[in-house]
């Protein structure tokens, strides 16, 4: 399912992040299926990278574990296709630019389209550098998602507003994934983004559980939960137990945000 | 170079959105100070009176006799704190002050950039945090002590190979989280725009002085300029002013570690493919799947999988030749300079010296060669000792 719009139609969308291949690709498939059953409206699938600049220790280590068990971008694309055939929600890939460059930008866009992937988020590819990948993705009907941060300048925000498709990923804090506190002026930050951007807004980084998700849900159209999911799955030992724990957390957050 | 910081297809600004305000502000101030007389004068006084510039261009007579050419050493090891790194650290600390930042962060491999940043921070009354891989902390203990004595906090980094790449990742992540109150002093001509240009401009004083000094000594430009390349700041510093001088052959020397054929090396420009790491597009050691390969060199300062984007441009254009020498060759050159000239060179610089030994048979006795002696080597005693023990039980 590649229509991003529908996930924002009823209430705040819940978008969990899982690192593909942590602890292995088979578990990733089960985990995504279980999370969708528990209430996920879309799923972000992490493409592991050796040097993730925007991630805190939890996701960084998940990436290391995925790489250690032999996960490659090729295998992530393949598993994304398998998942897209099994679940009825959009699959979004998230990862860094170097493996994509190495894979080949055109080949990446075309393979994602074949796999039925809806969108791609690349945290170290700002729009200034993104034309090559973004054009290739668009040509294949895959949506490039742009990010904004609380300290973004007005002119950049306006430019992102002009370019945004699908939704805009609002980073909730000045920091990396999994950090503690949200940006102080959250309401005015989101309001500022709204004034410039006409597509839905999803908020991520630092959404650590049901309480915080419920706190920010009224402000935005979707919430992304990453480190908390990775921690829950890994902390319970991965495998079927980890899948159950991840799904339980998503169920709780889904109830909390209504 | 266009305004986005490209050298041909290399460079750019591949960073999370959170860093853009800091990079744009930094670029604005950097463009401002390039032509600001007061700033340039203050930096000049600091470099002269505090750091000890100009550094000498020393004619190494006994080394010249041994190798069969006229070899000059640009003595960056005689800078305050013992390496060329202080040129950039002082410049960026002045910029940090202008930006109103009270905190400095830095990454370091061999520790020389960490010491330089800690020194500059102390000089300007700023807080300083230095990220350093655990392996590098072990092999550069003396520099860690120096940083701490200078008031810096040294943060050990335990991810990856526990070396410079990992320290850089950690520094960038810390910067993302503290971008509002700290300035990141990147130590080489790497990173997102404007760093590669800015660091080059703070280091070009090495080449500018060399040009003037060699004209005074020899009445002509050098035939060959040789410098080691990790990220590439000392090489860029000495090369850049000679770029338009077509008669000057320039050679950058990368670290071949245990030998290129073993896979344990840091030979980015010959063995790497174009990729994106730490904010810019450049040659990069990476797997077929685009994961960054952990490099290896005995020299902590060359142990880096990437290289400054302008070096990638020079490689493609052919203006600079890039070669490599092994740990063993570098250690031999280290010992040779000690015994012939009474100068202990940094292991990094020893790679450049080793290349001159490699080239010696093809050189004429009137060939004027300048080697950038980027730093001093007492910091490397722990790394070099095992090699020397094999050959000579007296040490």
Do B53 and B205 contact (CB within 8 A), yes or no?
yes
Confidence check on the interface: ipTM exceeds 0.85, yes or no: yes
Instruction: State the Cα–Cα distance between residues B224 and B248, nearest whole angstrom.
Output: 6
User: If pLDDT is split at 50, 70 and 90, which confidence band does B387 have?
Assistant: confident
User: If pLDDT is split at 50, 70 and 90, which confidence band does B390 have?
Assistant: low
Instruction: State the Cα–Cα distance between residues B239 and B253, nearest whole angstrom.
Output: 12
User: If pLDDT is split at 50, 70 and 90, which confidence band does B392 have?
Assistant: low
Do B375 and B77 contact (CB within 8 A), yes or no?
yes
Instruction: State the Cα–Cα distance between residues A115 and B240, nearest whole angstrom.
Output: 48
Q: Is B317 on the interface with A (CB under 8 A)?
A: no
Q: What is the mean pLDDT of residues A229-236?
A: 94
Q: In this structure, what token pair is assigned to residue B218? A: 């020899």
Instruction: State the Cα–Cα distance between residues B159 and B172, nearest whole angstrom.
Output: 14
User: If pLDDT is split at 50, 70 and 90, which confidence band does B386 have?
Assistant: confident
Instruction: State the Cα–Cα distance between residues B1 and A240, nearest whole angstrom.
Output: 54
> How confident is the model over B299-348, as pLDDT tens digits?
999 999 999 999 999 999 999 999 999 999 999 999 999 999 999 999 99
Determine the 3-state secondary structure of B101 from DSSP: coil
Residue A10 in this model has a pLDDT that exceeds 90: no
Q: What is the mean pLDDT of residues B261-273?
A: 97
Q: Which residues contact B174 (CB under 8 A, 6 or more apart)?
A: B105, B129, B131, B155, B182
| Portion of chain A with pLDDT greater than 70, in percent | 100
For all residues of chain A together, what is the average pLDDT? 96
Q: For residue A100, list chain B residues with Cβ-Cβ distance below 8 A.
A: 290
Give the residue among B251, B271, B285, B19 at the shortest CA–CA distance from B164: B285
User: If pLDDT is split at 50, 70 and 90, which confidence band does B394 have?
Assistant: very low
Do B255 and B333 contact (CB within 8 A), yes or no?
no
Q: For residue A151, list chain B residues with Cβ-Cβ distance below 8 A.
A: 18, 21, 179-180
Give the pLDDT confidence score for residue B137 in this predicted structure: 94
Q: Which of A44, A82, A124, A132 is catalytic?
A: A44
Residue B61 in this model has a pLDDT that exceeds 70: yes
Size of interface A-B (CB pairs under 8 A): 113
Q: Which residues contact B359 (CB under 8 A, 6 or more apart)?
A: B224, B251, B369
Q: Where are the extended beta strands (E) located within B261-337?
A: 264-266, 273-277, 280-284, 320-325
Q: Is A165 a catalytic residue?
A: no
Interface subset of A 191-220, CB within 8 angstroms of B: none
Give the pLDDT confidence score for residue B120 in this predicted structure: 98
User: If pLDDT is split at 50, 70 and 90, which confidence band does B393 have?
Assistant: low
How crowded is residue A241: how many other Cβ atoms within 10 Å of its Cβ?
12
Q: What is the DSSP letter of B340?
A: H
Q: What is the mean pLDDT of residues A170-191?
A: 90
Residue A161 or A237, more confident:
A161
Give the pLDDT confidence score for residue B186 in this predicted structure: 97
Chain A nearest C-alpha distance from B172 (Å): 7
Q: Which of B107, B170, B336, B341 is catalytic?
A: B107
Longest dimension (CA), chain B: 57
Q: For residue A59, list chain B residues with Cβ-Cβ distance below 8 A.
A: none
Instruction: State the Cα–Cα distance between residues A150 and A138, nearest whole angstrom.
Output: 27
CB-count exposure of residue A225 (10 Å: 0-12, 13-18, 19+)? buried
CA of A2: how far to CAs of A34, A38, A81, in Å?
20, 20, 12
User: If pLDDT is split at 50, 70 and 90, which confidence band does B395 have?
Assistant: very low
Residue B22 in this model has a pLDDT that exceeds 60: yes
Residue B1 in this model has a pLDDT that exceeds 70: no
Alpha carbon A127 to chain centroid, angstroms: 17
Residue A169 in this model has a pLDDT that exceeds 90: yes
> How confident is the model over B168-189, as pLDDT tens digits?
999 999 999 999 999 999 999 9
User: If pLDDT is split at 50, 70 and 90, which confidence band does B3 have?
Assistant: low
Determine the 3-state secondary structure of A222 from DSSP: strand
Do A99 and A120 contact (CB within 8 A), yes or no?
no
Q: In this structure, what token pair is assigned to residue B65? A: 């006799």
For all residues of chain B together, what is the average pLDDT? 95
Give the pLDDT confidence score for residue B388 in this predicted structure: 74
Name A120's bridge partners.
Answer: A93, A144
């Amino acid at each position: 399912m590649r229509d991003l719009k529908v996930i924002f139609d009823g209430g705040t969308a819940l978008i969990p992040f899982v690192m593909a291949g942590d602890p292995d690709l088979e578990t990733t498939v089960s985990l995504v299926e279980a999370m969708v059953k528990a209430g996920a409206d879309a799923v972000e699938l992490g493409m592991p990278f050796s040097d993730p600049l925007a991630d805190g220790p939890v996701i960084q280590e998940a990436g290391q574990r995925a790489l250690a068990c032999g996960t490659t971008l090729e295998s992530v694309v393949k598993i994304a296709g398998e998942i897209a055939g099994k679940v009825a929600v959009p699959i979004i890939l998230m990862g860094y630019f170097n493996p994509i460059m190495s894979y080949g930008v055109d080949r990446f866009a075309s393979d994602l389209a074949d796999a039925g992937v809806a969108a791609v988020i690349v945290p170290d590819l700002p729009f200034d550098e993104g034309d090559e990948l973004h054009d290739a993705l668009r040509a294949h009907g895959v949506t490039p998602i742009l990010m904004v941060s609380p300290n973004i300048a007005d002119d950049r925000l306006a430019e992102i507003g002009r370019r945004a498709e699908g939704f805009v990923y609002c980073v909730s804090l000045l920091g990396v994934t999994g950090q503690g506190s949200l940006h102080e002026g959250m309401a005015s930050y989101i309001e500022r983004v709204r004034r410039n951007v006409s597509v839905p807004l999803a908020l991520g980084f630092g959404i650590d559980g049901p309480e915080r998700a419920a706190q920010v849900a009224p402000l935005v159209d979707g919430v992304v939960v990453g480190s908390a999911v990775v921690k829950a799955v890994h902390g319970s030992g991965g495998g079927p137990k980890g899948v159950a724990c991840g799904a339980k957390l998503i169920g709780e957050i889904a109830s909390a945000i209504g | 170079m266009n305004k986005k910081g490209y050298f041909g297809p290399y460079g750019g600004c591949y960073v999370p959105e959170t860093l853009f305000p800091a990079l744009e502000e930094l670029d604005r101030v950097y463009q401002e100070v390039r032509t600001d007389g007061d700033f340039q004068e203050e930096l000049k006084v600091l470099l002269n009176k505090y750091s000890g510039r100009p550094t000498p261009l020393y004619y190494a007579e006994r080394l010249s006799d041994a190798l069969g050419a006229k070899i000059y050493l640009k003595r960056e090891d005689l800078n305050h704190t013992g390496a060329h790194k202080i040129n950039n650290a002082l410049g960026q600390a002045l910029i940090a002050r202008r930006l109103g930042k009270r905190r400095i962060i830095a990454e370091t491999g061999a520790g020389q950039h960490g010491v330089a940043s800690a020194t500059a921070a102390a000089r300007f009354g700023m807080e300083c945090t230095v990220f350093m891989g655990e392996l590098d902390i072990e092999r550069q203990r003396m520099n860690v002590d120096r940083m701490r004595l200078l008031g810096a906090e040294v943060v050990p980094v335990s991810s990856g190979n526990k070396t410079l790449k990992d320290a850089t990742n950690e520094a960038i992540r810390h910067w993302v989280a503290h971008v509002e109150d700290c300035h990141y002093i990147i130590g080489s001509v790497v990173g997102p725009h404007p760093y590669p240009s800015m660091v080059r401009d703070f280091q070009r004083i090495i080449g500018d002085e060399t040009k003037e000094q060699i004209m005074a000594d020899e009445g002509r430009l050098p035939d060959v300029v040789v410098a080691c390349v990790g990220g590439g700041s000392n090489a860029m510093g000495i090369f850049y002013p000679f770029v338009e001088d077509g008669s000057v052959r320039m050679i950058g020397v990368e670290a071949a570690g245990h030998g290129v054929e073993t896979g344990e090396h840091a030979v980015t420009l010959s063995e790497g493919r174009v990729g994106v790491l730490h904010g810019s597009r450049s040659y990069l050691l990476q797997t077929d799947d685009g994961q960054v390969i952990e490099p290896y060199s005995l020299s902590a300062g060359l142990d880096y999988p990437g290289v400054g984007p302008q070096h990638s441009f020079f490689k493609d254009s052919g203006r600079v030749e890039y070669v490599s020498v092994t740990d063993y060759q570098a250690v031999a050159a280290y010992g040779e300079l000690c015994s012939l000239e009474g100068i202990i060179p940094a292991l990094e610089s020893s790679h450049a010296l080793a290349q001159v030994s490699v080239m010696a048979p093809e050189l004429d006795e009137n060939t004027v060669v300048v080697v950038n002696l980027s730093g001093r080597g007492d910091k490397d005693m722990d790394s070099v000792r095992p090699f020397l023990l094999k050959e000579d039980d007296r040490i």
